[in-house]
Amino acid sequence: MKELDLEVAGEFILMAATLLQIKVRMLLPRSPEDMEEEETDPRTELVRQLLEYKRFKEVAESLTDIEDRQRRLFPRSYFDWHKQFRKQEKEIILKEVSLFDLLSAFKTAMDNIPEDAYHAVAEETVTIEEQMEFLEIQLNATPQLCFLELMKALKNRVQIVVTFMAILEMIRTRRILVQQSKVFGDIWIVRRGG
């Protein structure tokens, strides 16, 4: 079964059986009653199927040509953007960021934390509410925050994780937006509606 293509073999057997049925109908003698009932040529159905197959094959070839032409085209991307976040020298076009993009940026931030050679167990008292207030203060100072630069400014993993959870909570409560100018580009945090 692994070596043989059973679908092609099945189609071949079906075609052979159809041809045999047509040949048998044409060779066997028929009674006068059967001749009155069956006035149509048994080959007409086969001819109809072959013409239909030919049409499908022509359409498939034309679709292949269209696909080849489209493969050589490189259309320009366009994203909705807000003029208020445009730099003076170069425009940044921002689009909505998916949760996967945000998680990817979070992983990059976690990977960039320097490893400590020792481990001291100490209780961390960082809450989501505190980090939400921290984000509000940062957004009051500047209209947009770069996600990676914000994460680099934090001291340890616990603060990064709690800040990330605060960002997710603020997105959920529709207080902020996260946007990105291009795929794998910087992620910007902006206040919603402002």
The rounded mean pLDDT for the chain is 78
Query: Within 72-145, where are the H helices?
Result: 99-111, 128-141
pLDDT in tens, 40-67: 676 787 788 888 888 989 999 999 999 9
Check: CB of residue 57 under 8 Å from CB of residue 143.
Answer: no
118 pLDDT more than 70: no
| Domain boundaries of the chain, sorted by first residue | 6-71, 83-191
Residue 149's closest CA among 136, 140, 160? 160
Tokens of 21: 């049925």
Query: Which has more confidence, 33 or 160?
Result: 160
pLDDT in tens, 156-186: 888 888 888 898 888 888 888 888 877 778 8
Tokens of 167: 């960002």
Whole-number percent of the chain with pLDDT over 70? 76
Euclidean distance between CA atoms 120 and 190, whole angstroms: 36
9 pLDDT more than 80: no
Tokens of 86: 């445009």
Bridge partners, residue 188, by sequence: 146, 179
> How many Cβ atoms are within 10 Å of 55's Cβ, its own excluded?
10
117 pLDDT more than 60: no
With bands split at pLDDT 50, 70 and 90, how would you rate the model's confidence at 124?
A: low
How many CA atoms are closer than 13 Å to the CA of 13, on its beta-carbon side?
6
What pLDDT score does 88 carry?
53
